[in-house]
Structure formats: structure tokens, C-alpha cells
Structure 1
Amino acid sequence: MQEIRLLSKQSKKIEKELVTFYKTIGNMCSLNSKTTEIFAYLKIYDALSQVQLRKLTGFSLGTISATLQSFLDLDIINRGMIPKTHKNLYRIKPENVNFVYTPNIRIIADLEKLDSFIVEKQTELQALQSKHPIEVTFLHMRLNSLRNYAEVQRRQISREKKYSFFPEDVSELKSLDQTITYPFEIKELEENIMEILGYYRDDPIKVRIRSIFFTHRSVNQQKLMDLSGFSRSTISRFLDQELKREYIRVLPRENRKPRIYYLHSISLTILSNILRTDNYIYSYIPRFHEILTTLQSERQSERDRQDVTFLVAKIEEIIRHIEDFRNGTRFIRQAYHDLLKFLE
């Protein structure tokens, strides 16, 4: 076991494009940018030391060390000491991870936990049904949407069909321009949902605001400030980001009334984003072939031959990985189609 040779300065442009490919995927999945960049370099080089990662990323050793520990906890890398040194080499475990640093086994474990938690909370809410029928039914349906998302992922990751889908339409209870007001405390429920999902643990602002959209569906900016306790500038920044991602939408302004922002279907919104990300991954194959053609034509040029050999092998590997990934994700595409048909 020894340190991997890093690419020369001549090949940094291609290296950067590969990193950007992974970072774009991470951004589309709302994942942490620095964590994704470290993951990207590990995917490219297969194994790196902390010193090499610092040189490649420019991040502090503290950030790199904490990130690598989180990867060890997720079981997507292993660690081994380089002989006759005090350096550890961190090696990616390709069988445990695809194009983002969250392994499928962790995703499905979290979703099964979430599903059980929701069933428990829906049962508890029934005690309030007679007193608050609209509010309880509304929240029940919003939680159903999360269960539908979990079911689609179950069919993709576990290849298991555990349930039929659940009704989630709340339009007959409240129109989009109306914000639900709960007469009972649901903040703890929201926090528990987001904690179980675990996607945004390093971004408490996103955790809090998305949880409000999960349970309330539609809110104006002032209501978001009241419910979250965040400033207007923080809320505005979040809304701008989520509108660009098409995670939330906004109703047309009416007669100087506050604009209403909404997350219509939790399940369809998250799944649409996943499929959009998958399509981005597939769409990059032609570009990778272009890079391959360029590299293969440069075998006798001034470009470092070791760089060429390494990059050709790596890009061919990524293309194979994408093809396998596309074949494997046919289950989520079918489950998404089935959910759309159910919700018609």
C-alpha cells in the first residue's frame, strides 16, 4: 500500500471537470459542497492520504479529518496505514456507494425508520380527529406523501413492494393559497422527521424550513419567519435557492397580498429531483467519450503518459458505472410512473 501519484499540472483541467461532475450531482441532491468535493477526489483517485486531500482541495486538515471520519461511519471508505510511515490511506469502497456519498443501505434504513415513525404518529393523531378533523386529516395526508416517497425508494433499493400507495391530496381540505394552522404542537414531529431523514444535518436552516413545507404545504414569507424564528434575509435566501432548484413553487401575486410559496407533493417533488439528477448523470456519457477521444489522440503528445493511462482507465470506469447505474435505476422510474398513475 502506497500513496497514489497525483495528476500533473497538464491534466488539472480534466481533473477539475471530473470533480465538477460529482459536485454538480451533490448540489442537485442538496448535499454539502465540501463533503462532496472530498468524496469526488476519492472517487477519482480511489485512495488518498489526508495530506493529499489537503493539497487537492485546500481545505483544513480538521475539515478533511472530520469528513473522512463521517465516511468511515457510513462505511463508504476504509483506512489503512502506509508501511514505514505514520500516514493513513483512505480508500473508497465502490460497492457501497454510487455518485453521492450517501450509501443506499443508509438511505433505505433511514426510510424504514421514518415509515415506522410516521405510522406511530398517524395513530396518535387519530385521538384528535373528532376535535380537529381538517387539521388531523391534512397532516395525515402530508405524512402519507412521505410514506409514498419511502415506498418508491423501497422498490428501487430493496426491490420490494411492501405497500400500495397512499392518498396524499389535500386540495379539498385547503386551497393552495390557504395556510394550515395547527391547534396542536407539531414542531417536535417535524424535527423528528428531518432528523430521521438525516440529509441536511449539517444545515439546520434547511432542516427547519423544509420541515415546515413538509407539514404545512403552503406558506407566505412572514408565516415562515414566525414558524421558524429565522430572519427575513435568511428566509429570502432559502426561498431563492429552493425556487431555482424547483423544490418549491410560488403562486402569482394577487392584489398586493403576500406571495404564497408551496411544496405541493412531497413524494413527487423529491422523486422528480432524483430523476432529474439521474438524467444529468446519463447525459454526461457523450462528454466523457469526447474526453476519451482527446486523451487517446494525445498518447504520443506532450501530455504526461502516466496521466493519459490513468485518466483513460478512470473515465472508462465511470462510463461503465453510469451504464450499470442506468440499468439499475429502471425500478425507480417504474415506481415513479406507478405513483403518478395512482395520484391522477
Structure 2
Amino acid sequence: MMGPVLAACLLIILSTAWVSQANGATCKKDGGVCTCNDQTKNVDCSSKGLTAIPINIPADTDRLDLQSNKLSSLPRTAFHGLNKLTYLNLQWNKLQTLPAGVFDELKNLETLRIQQNQLKSLPSGIFDKLTKLTDLRLSSNKLQSLPEGVFDKLTKLTRLDLDYNQLKSLPSGVFDKLTELKDLSLQNNQLQRVPDGAFDYLSNIKTLWLDPNPWDCSCRDILYLSNWIREKKGTVSNIEAAECDGGTKAVLEITEEEAAEDCVYPNTTTAIPTTIITTLASSNDDDIPELPVPQENFQKFLGYQEPDHLPTQPQCLMSISGYLGLMMFFVLISAAILYVIHFLKKA
């Protein structure tokens, strides 16, 4: 009678061992790739060559470091269940897009580092749930524009890095809600101007990096920035370094006579070229020539964008040790079943 009992015990032991391994597959101590510190609640998955978020990150994790991996995309549920996180580091990966809602459960997050990726755009509302965020770093990406109101919910933000991107313009009022902001970095973009009143609500600003950017000092639009720099000179660091395109003159030295032109800066996403508007206004419908427009250009003209969060790799990809454990489990359980059958036949 000891045979069936022994087999049953073996099954229970194997099942418990495999479940334990799967639940802890995140950490090295259980065969995973990351290092976990139970005392500090830190999980370090940096520089592991990861192409997906490891499975079963402990729900009470406070700091999660995923920097210097090969993450090119994230599922929308990548950080679900991690509402204790205060620090998330995704820098030095290959992220090209962020799915809408990917950060929605991180309501206690204070620091978010996404610099050194390949982001070309941000979904509207991507940061809306991060109301406790104080430090947001988006530098060294490929951002060409920002959604309207993208930072409106970040009322506790004290640092915002947008440097080394490809920003050509800023939405009106983009910084209006950031009254606690102390450090703002805009250098090394393609900005020619900022909207009137762009910095008026930054009552706590201490440092603002503006240069290099190709500031257009021939247009009247530069006068707001010039006057603001002149007014804040000596109280806000680094602003005096801003120079006109070509480095011919400092922005703060520009006069109304020099900035005489009423320049028009079209919206870089959906603006209709002024030449088209003039032609349409002065022509009858029958006189308008039919111009062939490639489909992709027409979609861009209308502001159409492909969905930025198509289904990606499953979140719960096991480590190699997890797969081996699963295979071993099934081999052993099959052997145990065959043993039970063989014993019963003999009995």
C-alpha cells in the first residue's frame, strides 16, 4: 500500500515546487533573472537583455529598474498590480511607442525615467493618473510634438526633461499646470518660438535650459521669450544662453524693430499649407486641379495616425528556468502516474 501513497506525496511535492518556482521566477534566488531585495522592496532587472517584462514582479515592489535592456514595446497591462511603485526606470531601451493606459495603475509613482529610447509621440492622457509624480524624464527620444494637456495632471512635478528630442513647437498652455516645477530642460530641440505665456505659470522655476534651439529672432513671436528672459535674468539659471538661429545674437537682446515680421508657424501635424488655402479661396471648384496624393501622405495631412498599441508579446513570458521547470514537472508527473498504474495492475 505504500506505493500509491508515495506516488501521491511525490505529486504534491513536485506541484508545490513548480508553483513556487513560477511565482518567484522574477528573482535570482528562485531561478529568475532579476535581483530582489525583500527589505527595501527593490527589484533590479537592469542590463539583462530583456525583450519583455519579467513575470510575477512582487506586488509590494517599491522601485523597479528595467534600464539598459531591449524592450521595444510594452503591453498595456505591463505594470498592472504594481500600485506600490514609487520609482520606475525604463531608460536605455528601444521603446518606440507607449500604449495608452500603460501607467494608469501607478498612482503612487514619483519618478518615471523613459529617456534614451526611440519614442516619436505620446498618447493623449498617458500621464493623467500619475498625480504624485515629481520627476519625469523624456530626454533623448525622437518626440516631434506633444499632445495638448499632456502634463496637466502632474501638478506636483518638480523636474521635467524634454531635451535632445525633435520638438518643433509646444502646445499652448502645455506648462500652465506645473506650478511646482523647478527644473525644465528644452535644449537641443528644433524650437523656433514658444507660445505667448508659455512660462507665465512657472512660479517656482529655478533652472530652464533653452539653448541650443534655432530660435527665430526675425518674427514678433520671439518677443515674448525675449522679454521673459530679460525679466527673469538673474533669478532663473541658464536662460541667458538662448541664442538666435545662427548664434548671431542672444534672444534677450532682440528688440521690436529687429523682430518685425508677423511670421506664421503652421501646426506640424494637421496644418494646411497657406498656398493651398490661398488657391482654394481664389478659385472655383471646377478650376481646382486634381493632384495625386499618396495615401500615406493624405492620412498624415488629416492627422491620422496608426494605433500605437497593437497587441505585443505576452507580458508573462517565463524565464528559461521556468520553462525547464514546467517540462520537468510534466515529465515527473507522467512517470508518477505510470508508476501508480503499474502498481495497481500488479495488485
Larger radius of gyration: 2
Instruction: Report if TM-score (shorter chain) is over 0.5.
Output: no
Q: Which structure is higher in helix share?
A: 1
Q: What TM-score bracket applies, with the shorter chain setting the length?
A: under 0.3
Larger RCO: 1 or 2 (CA < 8 Å, sep 6+): 1
Normalising by structure 1, we get a TM-score of: 0.21
